Every structure is written in structure tokens, then in C-alpha cells.
């Protein structure tokens, strides 16, 4: 084989570089990839997948494709899968449901799943194809999980608001029963209790712009003396909806109310004011999830956790507490 001869390696090594590059040293991969470029070799993926009884595809199950939060995660997944010869397919779990979703867990449809929706049934996903959970997780499903410490992220958000002098702090929660919602609420309550402050006023939400807008309307409906001086929302999308609603009614952020989000989606740095938030390493989440799935496909059956750090991002939507209520 011309590629093997030019790279000075065996044909088996070339095969490993093309089909399972993570088991080959970086220098060997470089030699083989350079030889491939020089020879113009093209891998016949269809033939390879047929030999190995694989589809050549990985499916990411996403709870809402219209949510910009997932864009960088999917980019991170693709950046790892493509060099390994896998195509990334994406399914929206809200648009599809029931048996149509579970069909993706069949070996004839995909070689593996990366699941970003914690509301899916564990029994439908287990014992079919390799599965990795990212961001959210499904209780009872034995699979690797790539996530952040959501509780600690909420603690960081509340600590930031307390440092600015806020004592009446509200929380706009995510969907009831959601693992992320519960963890972020627990972190909020933990941080307030640690400082001897009252439990947060809770506004219901579901991670959407509209639920943030509704929370803003509820905040506006409170007597001025009872309005929380700071609001921590469990997603950036809700924070955007909240700010839009209160600004529409003449409220100035952060002079009249400080607003804190969670996620650091691209939009929020360009708002007026730019949003203070907790940054999730979304592309890294995608990369780690994809690599763990490749490991699972290769036979690594560990159901371990990868917990990535978050970062407090201070921007213009949070400020020192106002002396008088608005």
C-alpha cells in the first residue's frame, strides 16, 4: 500500500489511523496523514462500514434545536467525529417522540447516541447501541456523563450578587423535574442560606424566552418595596426575556434590578446591557462527549462522569444594590 510505504508504517497502522485514530500516537498519525495527502488516497467509508457492520453515523438527541445553547456543543461533537470517519446526525426530541426517537437506538440506524435530553426514558435507550449523556442525564441509565457542576455554578452566581450588596434575590427556575433546574435551584438556596439570607422568591420558567418574559411581568406586578433587587435566571434565554419585559416598562438594568443568567450563549455579550452569566464550556462538552462515545464504540464500557469547570462572567447587567426600591 502506497500510504503505508511512504509513511514507513504497516498497513495495519494505517488502518488504525483511519478507523480508530485515538489509539495511535500523535507522531504516527501525522506521518500517515501526510502520506495520505501526498498520495491523494481516499477512504471508502461505505465499504469500511459494511465490513465492520457499522452505519458510519452518530445521532445527537437534542431537546430543542431552536435553542442556540446547543450550537457550540454540536460543533464540538462534529470536530471529533469527523476525523474518526463518522457523520453526525441531529434529531430534535420535541419535534419527534416516542417510538420514532427510540428507532435511533437501533444498530441499523446509528453506531451510537449522544443524548442531551434528560427527559427520555432510560429503558428505551439501554442495551442497544453505545450511549453517552451530555449536559443533562437520565436517572437509571448506566452511561458516561459529560456535564458541569450546575449546583456550584448557581452558588457562584448568587455569591456574585451578594458581593454587590443584594439581599432580596429571586430565582427563575427551569422546567419542574429537570435535573438542571433542580441542581441550579439547590445551589441558589445553598448560597443564600450560607449567608443567612431569606430563601429566594421563585418564579416558574422553562428555559425559554417567553417564560423569562412572564417572570419579568410577575416581578413588575409586585409592590415596589417587595421586588427582589436581583434576579438569577436558570438560563440565558430566560434572562433575555426578563430584561426585555422590564425594560419595556421603563426599568433600567442594573440600576433598578440586577439580572444574572446561566450558559453564556453568544447573543448575551451583545445585549444592552451585556448579560452577566455563568459560562458553560459548551464546545468542550461536545468534544468530550464525542470522544467518550468513540471509546464506548471501541469497547470501553465504563459509565464514568466527566465534570467540566464553569466560569463566572461579570458584565453590565449586574451592579450594586439600589438604595431605594424602584
Alpha-carbon distance values, 134 to 31, 140, 165, 189 (Å) = 33, 15, 35, 25
Report pLDDT for 22.
64
Backbone φ and ψ of 7, nearest 5°:
-80, -15
pLDDT tens for the chain, residues 1 to 326:
566 777 777 777 766 776 666 667 888 878 877 877 777 665 544 444 434 446 789 999 998 888 889 999 999 999 999 999 899 999 888 876 655 666 776 777 789 999 998 888 777 776 678 999 999 888 888 899 999 999 999 999 999 999 999 999 999 999 998 999 999 999 999 999 999 999 999 999 999 999 999 999 999 999 999 999 999 999 999 999 999 999 999 999 999 999 999 999 999 999 999 999 999 999 999 999 999 999 999 888 888 999 999 999 999 999 998 765 55
Beta bridge partners of 313: 277
Please say whether the beta carbons of 269 and 317 come within 8 A.
Answer: no
- Note the pTM of the prediction, 2 decimals: 0.80
Report pLDDT for 3.
67
Please say whether the beta carbons of 286 and 308 come within 8 A.
Answer: no
3-state secondary structure of 115: strand
Instruction: Give just the sign of the alpha carbon dihedral 100, 106, 111, 116.
Output: positive
Alpha-carbon distance values, 171 to 125, 203, 244 (Å) = 33, 6, 17
Report pLDDT for 281.
96
For 16, half-sphere exposure in the C-beta direction (CA atoms, 13 angstrom radius) is 15
Report pLDDT for 20.
64
How many other C-beta atoms are found inside a 10 Å radius of the C-beta of residue 98?
A: 9
Q: What is the DSSP string of 215-259?
A: HHHHHHHS-GGGS-SEEEESSHHHHHHHHHHHHHTTPPTTTT-EE
The Cα–Cα gap between 19 and 57 comes to 13
Helix 26-39 crosses helix 11-19 at what angle (to 10 degrees)?
A: 100
3-class secondary structure per residue, the chain? CHHHHHHCCCHHHHHHHHHCHHHCCHHHHHHHHHHHHHHCCCCCHHHHHHHCCCCCEEEEEECCCCCCCHHHHHHHHHHHHHHHCCEEEEEECCCCCCHHHHHHHCCCCCCEEEECCCCCCHHHHCCCCCEEEECCCCCCCCCCEEEECHHHHHHHHHHHHHHCCCCCEEEECCCCCCHHHHHHHHHHHHHHHHCCCCCCEEECCCCCHHHHHHHHHHHHHCCHHHCCCEEEECCHHHHHHHHHHHHHCCCCCCCCCEEECCECCHHHHHCCCCCEEEECCHHHHHHHHHHHHHHHHCCCCCCCEEEECCEEECCCCCCCCCCCCC
Amino acid at each position: 500500500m502506497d500510504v503505508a510505504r511512504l509513511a514507513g508504517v504497516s498497513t495495519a497502522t494505517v488502518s488504525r489511523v483511519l478507523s480508530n485514530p485515538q489509539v495511535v500516537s500523535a507522531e504516527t498519525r501525522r506521518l500517515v496523514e501526510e502520506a495520505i495527502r501526498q498520495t491523494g488516497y481516499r477512504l471508502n467509508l461505505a465499504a469500511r462500514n459494511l465490513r465492520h457492520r457499522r452505519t458510519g453515523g452518530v445521532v445527537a438527541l437534542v431537546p430543542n434545536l431552536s435553542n442556540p445553547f446547543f450550537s457550540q456543543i454540536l460543533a464540538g461533537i462534529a470536530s471529533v467525529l469527523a476525523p474518526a470517519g463518522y457523520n453526525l446526525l441531529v434529531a430534535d426530541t420535541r419535534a419527534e417522540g416516542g417510538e420514532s426517537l427510540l428507532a435511533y437506538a437501533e444498530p441499523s440506524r446509528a453506531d451510537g447516541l449522544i443524548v442531551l435530553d434528560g427527559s427520555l426514558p432510560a429503558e428505551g435507550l439501554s442495551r442497544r447501541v453505545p450511549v453517552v449523556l451530555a449536559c443533562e442525564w437520565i436517572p437509571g441509565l448506566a452511561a458516561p456523563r459529560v456535564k458541569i457542576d450546575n449546583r456550584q455554578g448557581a452558588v457562584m452566581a448568587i455569591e456574585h450578587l451578594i458581593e454587590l450588596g443584594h439581599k432580596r434575590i429571586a430565582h427563575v427556575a427551569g422546567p419542574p423535574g429537570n435535573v438542571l433546574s433542580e441542581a441550579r435551584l439547590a445551589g441558589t438556596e445553598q448560597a443564600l442560606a450560607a449567608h443567612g439570607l431569606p430563601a429566594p422568591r421563585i418564579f416558574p420558567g422553562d428555559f425559554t424566552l417567553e417564560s423569562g418574559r412572564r417572570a419579568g411581568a410577575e416581578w413588575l406586578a409586585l409592590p415596589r418595596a417587595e421586588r427582589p433587587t436581583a434576579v438569577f435566571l436558570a438560563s440565558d434565554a430566560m434572562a433575555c426575556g426578563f430584561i426585555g419585559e422590564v425594560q419595556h416598562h421603563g426599568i433600567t438594568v442594573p440600576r433598578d434590578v440586577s439580572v444574572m443568567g446561566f450558559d453564556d450563549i453568544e447573543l448575551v455579550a451583545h445585549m444592552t446591557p451585556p448579560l452577566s452569566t455563568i459560562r458553560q464550556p459548551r464546545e468542550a462538552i461536545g468534544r468530550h462527549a464525542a470522544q467518550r462515545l468513540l471509546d464506548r464504540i471501541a469497547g470501553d464500557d465504563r459509565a464514568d462522569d466527566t465534570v467540566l469547570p464553569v466560569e463566572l462572567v461579570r458584565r453590565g447587567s449586574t451592579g450594586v444594590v439600589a438604595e431605594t426600591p424602584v
